[in-house]
Amino acid sequence: MSRPLEPRLPPDVRALLDADLSSTVGIALLLLTISPEGWPHQAMISCGEIAALSDEYIALALWPSSTAARALADGGRATLTLVLPPTGYALRLDVEPAGELETPLAGRLARFSAAVTGATADEAPYATLESGVRYSLKDPGQVVARWREVREALRA
């Protein structure tokens, strides 16, 4: 059952986005946008490509040529979804381009600023959500180092 939340990062989502990146490896967040052709588009992003700036604002770093970055290039709306057992979350975002960022390990990325304008939590009384999208890294040391650079740049 879905229930509305305050238009801000729920505390456990904020804790995830503030956590040490090595503890977030494997957790994928889904960024939902609308493609130029009008179709929903799903992009998987890691905690290393998003930073909580406050309870109401986040910053995103996306590959500049990605479908999601192109969809948000002129600003717009997106939904960020994730599962933190036993709850599924959906955050509505008003997104604005915020230039570029570049780090030695990540290279050039498109930067976006997003205001959380709505939030919902989903839990089923008859079942328990156990996980969302999960992944493993082929080179954890290199990837986590890159994410740390990106997250620091997003917070700067």
Q: CB of 60 within 8 A of CB of 52?
A: no
Output the domain CATH number for residue 70. 2.30.110.10
pLDDT tier, 90 (very low <50, low <70, confident <90, very high otherwise): very high
Beta-strand pair 40-45/29-34: antiparallel
Query: With b meaning 16 or more CB within 10 Å and e meaning fewer, what string describes 39-48?
Result: eebebebbbb
Closest CA to 98 of 112, 109, 108: 112
- In whole angstroms, give the CA distance from residue 34 to residue 95: 12
Residues 6+ apart with CB under 8 A from 49: 60, 61, 62, 109, 147, 150
Pull the structure tokens for residue 129.
């959500």
Residue 36: what pLDDT?
82
Which phi-psi region, left, alpha or beta, contains residue 154 (left: φ > 0; alpha: ψ -120 to 50)? alpha
Q: CB of 46 within 8 A of CB of 63?
A: no
pLDDT of residue 75 exceeding 90: no
State what percent of residues in the chain have pLDDT above 70: 100
pLDDT in tens, 99-127: 999 999 999 999 999 999 999 999 999 99
Q: Which domain holds residue 129?
A: 2-155
pLDDT of residue 23 exceeding 90: yes
* Number of domains making up the chain: 1
